[in-house]
Structure 1
């Protein structure tokens, strides 16, 4: 076969790197610490520049390629994968827009190429409209910049991010409020990061609360002013597509690891009832492992296929949002099911604090809280197929 001329690497995450990251995951979970060592290794491997074009010194990977990497990283260390996911989301949005001729976020790729670490600061307590409205105030400056005042929650990478992609509401014209999306610098002032992350799972993400107290996005980094409510702007599509696909990839990785652990447990555990034979010979256990494997085999092609459709610009029309939120919902629920089956196969040992399966059980629960949550996902899909609810 002819040698490929594609300069992009097949993978940035070697088996050795993933094993090193996996070996540290339990300690970071136990101690509730951020995985600085993992981030250093991923940075050295060029992983934070995965979406950055080759011309800027990155790897120029596609969404499909990065999703495949995130499945593998999620299988090794879910919290590390979820943390770095947010940097990849911001850079992935910029890359997707650039590939479609929109350079409004080109500065993100340039900053990432220089080693800056991006976080995603959009979630707010009590805001179930998510990206369609905001409790944060965005105050315009005469030079075109904006000053943000508000509180963001679940800001992953809190100990290390240097750039925060965020948004707020500008009510300068009360009859036509706008949502202003921009990027602020951590060292630009007006930012407090609270040390308040002590959770059931996904502990190493250190997704702390971020208080914006007049944090400034310069004019060049204010990239969207959109009406309150749903929008057909390409940025909104890129945000949902990249965010949901990469989230689905992380949780799909958890499922993949859970199947492996279930298989190992079935071969390790023995049964006195069956004359000391391993549980791999027990029909009930075989059924549970098969159930887990069937579910896992069903979700992995979905992640790959939809990521490819995003890359290739496949026209799903009005069904696009239903497809991406549906993928995220199925992937997270599927991972919960697979982990549950693995727990049942492994037995009581998985209930101990040091168990990897016990950790996965806690980590996978976080999937129900990420946008789009189950209620929002079902509403989106229902609207796509049935139309909006008649208000009369």
Structure 2
């Protein structure tokens, strides 16, 4: 039997997204986690869109997940960004499985059962990101590890069931080694994991990306996913995290860009010039501005689709992979920010009020600048790809 065709509107129907959009304003205002959104996403199996059908998921690839995340972000950016971090792990599981590595099967099975996986990689001041860590990973005789350190921007803070993280093992015979593992929520009850209630930010408030303290947090033997040397590394896990993270982030901000463009078009059609008596949609300056927005947005879609397909189909871009991935994330974020800026100018002064959806999008889109790869890292990566490593 042929697989059912991919229909984003059937998976995330308009009426569902409208409920999310209405709730997004309340979530932002209350600085709360979108529990109702998560409940509805669980009900439709969204947590398992990247999980194979034989394991209880939808069996979609990264290309389809990108389209869905764009659609979700257009309604509720913070919900989309929070779920993104769960989808990163299910996406990494898919990347590994597609390459014959079954180390994250428990992630796939857990996601199909409705469990939530959080992404605990970011650390204050750690510009090495995946290539180093300030978190100590101490081996236990039974093969598990105890992690001590502080993770920041840990989305899904109030609701995750499993925290995927990394730390540096400096005591084993083959040290140093980067250790990637998963810590269960039960470590919160022991006090070895502390989830601070400190997420009070300018935008993306619904992600509740709280600071997470690790005080010897235990990851059991069967949740130690990978031990690899620190520094730049072609390991499939590193590639999986970087590729899925960058592409799904770009998808979220592309979704925000589309929503801002749609709101600008609506505003231009509804507003009337007192000077000319005509709709702003007939004003040549406004038309030029919206055309600029659309030109920037349209360029993002084929880039995203192509690179997502390339990951799904195991294309070989060799050493260029990291510059391509960092580049598309950077372009999506900067384009989205510019598009939201322009939409606010088209909509006029009403968008300055906090009740305006554009006002919220303006704050939400700023978060894109802080995700890896940040502008400095993206430019350094691309410069190295074209010019070679800088001289010592």
Question: TM over 0.5, yes or no?
Answer: yes
Instruction: Measure, in 2, the Cα distance between the counterparts of 1:18 and 1:34.
Output: 17
Q: CA RMSD in A?
A: 1.2
Q: CA deviation at 1:8?
A: 6.9
Equivalence for 1:10: 7
Q: CA deviation at 1:174?
A: 8.9
Equivalence for 1:203: 205
Matched-pair contact (CA < 8 Å) for 2:169–2:175: no
Instruction: Measure, in 2, the Cα distance between the counterparts of 1:265 and 1:194.
Output: 40
Aligned residues: 387
Equivalence for 1:264: 266
Equivalent residue for 2:249, pick from 226, 233, 247:
247
Instruction: Measure, in 2, the Cα distance between the counterparts of 1:309 and 1:325.
Output: 15
Matched-pair contact (CA < 8 Å) for 1:8–1:61: no
Equivalence for 2:330: 329
Q: CA deviation at 1:114?
A: 2.1
1:51-70 pair list within 5 angstroms: 51-70=50-69
1:100-119 pair list within 5 angstroms: 100-119=99-118
Q: CA deviation at 1:20?
A: 1.2
Moved more, 172-181 or 239-248: 172-181
1:218-367 pair list within 5 angstroms: 218-274=220-276, 276-367=277-368
Equivalence for 2:73: 74
Instruction: Measure, in 2, the Cα distance between the counterparts of 1:290 and 1:52.
Output: 38
Matched-pair contact (CA < 8 Å) for 1:9–1:59: no
Instruction: Measure, in 2, the Cα distance between the counterparts of 1:86 and 1:173.
Output: 30
Instruction: Measure, in 2, the Cα distance between the counterparts of 1:184 and 1:243.
Output: 20
The secondary structure found in structure 2 opposite 1:5 is coil
Deviations 1:324-358 (A, max 9, x none): 11110000001001111101101111111111011
Q: CA deviation at 1:57?
A: 1.2
Instruction: Measure, in 2, the Cα distance between the counterparts of 1:241 and 1:375.
Output: 18
Equivalence for 1:184: 183
Instruction: Measure, in 1, the Cα distance between the counterparts of 2:384 and 2:184.
Output: 38
Q: CA deviation at 1:268?
A: 1.2
Matched-pair contact (CA < 8 Å) for 2:56–2:109: no
Matched-pair contact (CA < 8 Å) for 2:6–2:64: no
Matched-pair contact (CA < 8 Å) for 2:351–2:357: yes
1:16-27 pair list within 5 angstroms: 16-27=15-26
Q: CA deviation at 1:10?
A: 3.0
The secondary structure found in structure 1 opposite 2:158 is coil
Where does structure 2 lack aligned partners over 5 or more consecutive residues? none
The TM-score normalised by the length of structure 1 is 0.97
Matched-pair contact (CA < 8 Å) for 1:8–1:60: no
